[in-house]
Structure 1
């Protein structure tokens, strides 16, 4: 029998909710795969209905899963997520940040500052605050893995400004976290997917 690759591991997956649509979102896909590979999960999303959909799916697969509704643009909420993971599992091996949006983004001369702030808060600031609050737990156990979802848009020309800039920031932040925390046995990597047929991409 093949051993499951994540057996005995605990993962926090942020952005795990499933938006309505004919296709599957990245967060949901990762959550299902992690469960199939044996990970115990704390799943997080700002939308309670989307989160509940994923929660029920993981339960149907026989996975070990807890859920928490949280807005990661609020640092207190990020702290509560980290605390909840320790309460349920007493450790955290993986932090998977899968939050990102581009709705409302425009060309530089057409972009308003409220849209800039809204996108940057969710795509970059939220990831930073989740890393900030989970890293002390990983440092204490001398191990951990952080996975931040970026985009090929961070390295390619796009007609919109904020999404591209926020994802370039994710790359830089992830590199810094990796170098800074390597002595503690912690890895950090950014994944740069291209455009996929997720509900968010189709409905934007």
Structure 2
């Protein structure tokens, strides 16, 4: 395999898996490592993040693991500082954290709406707030945000908060891409459909 990310450092949030098997973040973290990146794997579940780190390190990769709630501004600042201390650079930020809350507006509890927006949108704001200055100083980088086709289409069941949050991710991504293009920083969104992951099961 050609090591397309040799010499790069990638932060992956949601790098663990919410259950047995492979979640998107776990799969992306391992693939980044297989492409030569040094991976800083972040998850709120340290045991799950350690499983991802073990796979990477057993394959001969380089992975550091960090537990953080990426909806907490202090925790995000600490994880970015820890990554810089460990590796001295951040080339890729992969924002993978996300949750689903089924139901229409008449069914969803306000606290559940707020929690979903915090996890799916605020977390990306906080990671970008802390990572982008390092990318600007380094002269470039790549931000990858996980959105969903639910931002454009009905999935056939009510999930208004999830769809709204992913629409916000799309708008956030476009604005970051436009604002930071002059700094040689790319920002893209991935819009997967329904996937067989532990979160969905």
Q: What is the TM-score of this pair, normalised by structure 2?
A: 0.96
Matched, 1:139 2:136: yes
**How many angstroms apart in 2 are the aligned matches of 1:50 and 1:16?**
8
**How many angstroms apart in 2 are the aligned matches of 1:60 and 1:20?**
21
Q: 1:93 aligns with which of 81, 91, 101?
A: 91
| Match runs of 1:24-39 below 5 Å | 24-39=22-37
Match of 2:5, SS state, is coil
**How many angstroms apart in 1 are the aligned matches of 2:51 and 2:87?**
22
Quote how far apart the aligned CAs of 1:18 are.
2.0
Quote how far apart the aligned CAs of 1:160 are.
1.4
CA displacement, residues 129-177 of structure 1 (integer Å, 9 cap, x when unaligned): 1011100000101110000000000001241111000010000000000
**How many angstroms apart in 1 are the aligned matches of 2:84 and 2:36?**
18
Quote how far apart the aligned CAs of 1:59 are.
1.1
Q: 2:104 aligns with which of 107, 110, 122?
A: 107
Q: 1:57 aligns with which of 40, 55, 58?
A: 55
Quote how far apart the aligned CAs of 1:19 are.
2.6
**How many angstroms apart in 2 are the aligned matches of 1:182 and 1:59?**
34
Match of 2:89, SS state, is coil
Quote how far apart the aligned CAs of 1:3 are.
3.6
CA displacement, residues 18-64 of structure 1 (integer Å, 9 cap, x when unaligned): 2322x310001101111111100111000111111111111111111
Q: What residue is the counterpart of 2:116 in the other structure?
A: 119
**How many angstroms apart in 2 are the aligned matches of 1:82 and 1:6?**
20
Q: What residue is the counterpart of 1:19 in the other structure?
A: 18
| Match runs of 1:74-93 below 5 Å | 74-93=72-91
Aligned CA RMSD, in angstroms, stands at 1.0
**How many angstroms apart in 1 are the aligned matches of 2:114 and 2:17?**
24
Q: What residue is the counterpart of 1:71 in the other structure?
A: 69
Structure 1 residue ranges (4+ consecutive) displaced by more than 4 angstroms after TM superposition: none
Q: How many residues align?
A: 199
CA contact (8 A) 2:10 2:37 kept: yes
**How many angstroms apart in 2 are the aligned matches of 1:184 and 1:163?**
31
Q: What residue is the counterpart of 2:187 in the other structure?
A: 188
Gaps of 5+ in 1: none
Match of 1:11, SS state, is strand
**How many angstroms apart in 1 are the aligned matches of 2:164 and 2:12?**
23
**How many angstroms apart in 2 are the aligned matches of 1:108 and 1:192?**
23
